[in-house]
Structure 1
């Protein structure tokens, strides 16, 4: 009888350790899921409070987001819609507005006409690049044809340039001066007032 009680006690202890182990695995899985979700699209914001403008609710790593690479440090992981390989340094020598976007991102689509208007207003004084992150050429081309935009659309099929620039959410827009130096990073949807302010930092005005 005593041996039977001892066996029951051992079984109960084993079940307790098994339950604890399963609980730890569940917690680890939930933590991983939360970390992945934090890298998804973040809510847009028009607030600018520092050199790196982050919308409310976004929590990027401040130690890495300030380390975006200049165009000279980029590799040629970009392609035109016609399949021609290019790099950001190909456009250096003129101030650049470089927007990272995706067709599934509503704020990205909302600000696209604004970029079109600034590309037309500043003509050869400002290069406006719309870099699509990770989507097929056919998807991007259909979008461009449907809306009739005439911006310089580039493809980043492996999201290599996205990662090089520590882009954590879409849309994200980088402003480079004519020397290829990063002057401003804005995360979230832009408006005309903010663009005007950032272009002044690049030495551009009407």
Structure 2
């Protein structure tokens, strides 16, 4: 083979590789969500007034979901800290959702005493099942889950969160 044939073959191979790279980049698959994550994003829960809160509406930005109840002392203790996290990070795209494993009346009374800046929905006792499917085998409270912008679970925390943990989570996305 002569030099010109080798040069043309090399240019052709480089062009093919570049084309394949561009095609892969444009058509690359998104994250594959597990069944529990997919079920979470397909769910909707009522707020304290009964209006539906669709989980799909939170997709596309980082989300901290906190499963809590009014009758759970560690849950009540961590809510002001989570509210501060929301106020400090919402301008950077962070969202927070409280899913109360509780009934409307006690949650309404609680929110009247301690208003929260982030939305709260009523998961009721089905919230325990949702928490279990997302990685909380005991269904204990409080339980927090961090989702990335693609809807995949990045982190789970059973028990009360700390300011240090919240600061670390803020850096995840």
Is the shorter-chain TM-score for this pair beyond 0.5, marking a shared fold? Answer: yes
Q: Partners of 1:89 and 1:155 in 2: how far apart?
A: 16
Are the aligned partners of 2:43 and 2:56 in contact in 1 as well (CA < 8 Å)? Answer: no
Gaps of 5+ in 1: 1-66
Q: CA RMSD in A?
A: 1.8
Gaps of 5+ in 2: 1-33
Structure number, greater radius of gyration? 1
Q: Partners of 1:82 and 1:99 in 2: how far apart?
A: 19
Change (3 A) 1:85 1:163: farther
1:128 corresponds, among 88, 92, 96, to 96
What's the TM-score, normalizing by structure 2? Answer: 0.70
Match of 2:162?
Answer: 191
Are the aligned partners of 1:76 and 1:85 in contact in 2 as well (CA < 8 Å)? Answer: no
What's the TM-score, normalizing by structure 1? Answer: 0.60
Match of 1:83?
Answer: 50
Deviation of 1:98 (Å): 0.3
Are the aligned partners of 2:59 and 2:149 in contact in 1 as well (CA < 8 Å)? Answer: yes
Q: Partners of 1:80 and 1:148 in 2: how far apart?
A: 14
Match of 1:181?
Answer: 152
Q: How many residue pairs are counted as aligned between the two chains?
A: 134
Map 1:1-206 onto structure 2 (within 5 A).
Answer: 69-70=36-37, 72-74=38-40, 75-124=42-91, 125-133=93-101, 135-160=102-127, 161-167=130-136, 168-201=139-172, 203=173
